[in-house]
A and B are shown apart, each in its own frame.
Chain A
């Protein structure tokens, strides 16, 4: 009995070790960022995580009024805004603010028309080259997947606890920390011309984007505080949504599936006990 317990413990230990390796490869070593990202208590954290629709709406506003000047959102279509609780007319009106090229028409000519809900989000630049040249040689990355494309190494043993706490907010935590992390460089810091010191930046001590957010930059109509900190939170949550619009559905589904499998495993355990009851082994 004890031996079989030991063995079960061994299987479990090996499985954990293997997962640990997985965690490691996902978070390779590097000297940057200087500071680890701050942890925000997102509404979408944990097994019951869900979107805070009000927050996503505010995030959209911040994106539209600030970030969209430089960053595209190529994978999203206007119709996706239905998830944020907007009506068809609201979405059509939002889309109509942008122009897209269409055609050729019957005369074989290309023409521009206002965007429709089925169109993808119109970006600020015609192409990557234009984006780079407009930003002094730095490319403002497309934002659709940005919240999944950054994960700062969590370090030992945190990444083991992450399995049990279901920590998966690396991306939004990183973006929030970056946006609120601009500060004066310490005296000994070597900051290249045209870069802005930020100890939360993943690939160096400074980045080409200057601090985009200031208090009272965007007007909120739901009473949320109009602070840079709140803007940063809202836009980070919004970017998590653009990176995985189905996140809350995935978690809801997962809850049912895992629960079902555990109950099923329990039933099988008792069945097995019964079947094996008269067999010594």
Chain B
């Protein structure tokens, strides 16, 4: 797919360097001459946005870490002093906190794109799995980052989440103690979380490099799901994808800046402006919005699983909830093999489209349920919604592959593009006659 390199060093230094460390060649091949399908839509811009978000989080993070103290007695105040007394400190802090939310907005849209266009299917399984690993690392990073300001939600969120580990049979409590560095959340916990929160983004960066490497081996999918067949189907990354990604990125940052500057607390929780207090439990402990769907799954399992006709508890409700919650994420790893259809793009799968739409709506609803207390009507709704979530993966996706009759697909990307421009009128047909010169 990548073809052979078209890089031509011009300067003397360029040639000298190219014979020793062909870094410029790598960049040229990856971001200039790299061929991309000509029909990518807006959903394909989120990968690039995620790259920049990672950089943005690392830059703001390194700056605020210069003013942060990871000591339980001063952590809360150090964040306040950063916001009040450091030049641009408030901006950096808001940008980092709101940025975490927008990182997740981008990653959810990126994942949804992959699920709809069948990006996970052969030959992109490894690319997909690397993505899921990034997602897991992101969640770990965000969770530990949220603990650092040492507010009430930081503290109690850490208490609840590390408690999951004690559900593991036999070794659970020991695992939890290692995680916390003690019997409960405290100074030792804060210190190790700070250390790990600083480390994980660089691990994400490492996996993201593998992710892009895998992408450049297989090439991108496109809305038709038909693989690239000829040079006609592709255009060079620069200027076409570059300018499109840049535009999407700036729009994304504009929306994010709106929140950073005008609604910095909108996505957060007021209780985190109260310093952590082990003696006072907040009325409702709620995680950040991006964890809410999984929080609902966790609390949907409020029953023990027993061996039928006996009283022997196989899985108690606590372990059951934790398994379901981790299962809801882990099942993404198996998606390439759960989807049995050999049609890649959802555009040509009428039944799949319905299932996918229900999945997305249900996932958002599950998030809503995650914000509700586990009582009354909410509990049966959590159960139903959890069931729908898992049903999408098993049995619906495997079954659909057999029973669904896909729509006819275009023979090639160029065919699809031509057909579309014919629909749009004569003006565009003329345009397509003047082919750009794709050296790819």
Contacts and interface: CB of A to CB of B under 8 A. Distances in A.
A171 B265 CA distance: 11
A268 interface: yes
Interface stretch (B133-141, B162-170, B367-375, B384-392): B367-375
Contact of B428 (A145, A244, A280): A280
B269 interface: yes
B289 A18 contact: yes
B270 A150 contact: yes
Interface in A76-98: none
Interface stretch (A57-65, A175-183, A188-196, A247-255): A247-255
B261 A250 contact: yes
B80 A75 contact: yes
A120 to B, nearest CB: 11
Interface of B: prevailing SS: helix
Contact of A272 (B101, B247, B267, B368): B247
Interface string B269-280: 111011000000
Contact of A257 (B261, B263, B287, B434): B261
A47 interface: yes
B366 to A, nearest CB: 10
Contact of A258 (B109, B247, B257): B257
Interface size class of B (residues with CB under 8 A): 35 or more
Contact of A271 (B243, B251, B436): B243
Given A15-B255, A280-B428, A254 B260 contact: yes
B267 A29 contact: no
Contact of B105 (A15, A163, A257): A15
Q: Which of B284, B288, B367, B371 has the most CB of A within 10 A?
A: B371
Contact of B38 (A19, A21, A265, A279): A279
B364 A17 contact: yes
Given A1-B424, A280-B421, 9 more contacts: A19-B105, A22-B266, A24-B367, A25-B267, A151-B265, A258-B258, A258-B262, A276-B240, A280-B431
Interface of B: 38-43, 77, 80, 83-84, 90-91, 94, 101, 104-105, 108-109, 112, 235, 239-240, 243-244, 246-247, 250-251, 253-255, 257-258, 260-271, 273-274, 283-284, 286-289, 292, 360, 364, 367-368, 370-373, 417-418, 420-421, 424, 428, 431-432, 434, 436
15 contacts: A8-B42, A11-B43, A17-B364, A21-B368, A28-B371, A30-B373, A145-B273, A148-B273, A150-B270, A163-B263, A244-B83, A255-B261, A258-B254, A276-B240, A280-B432
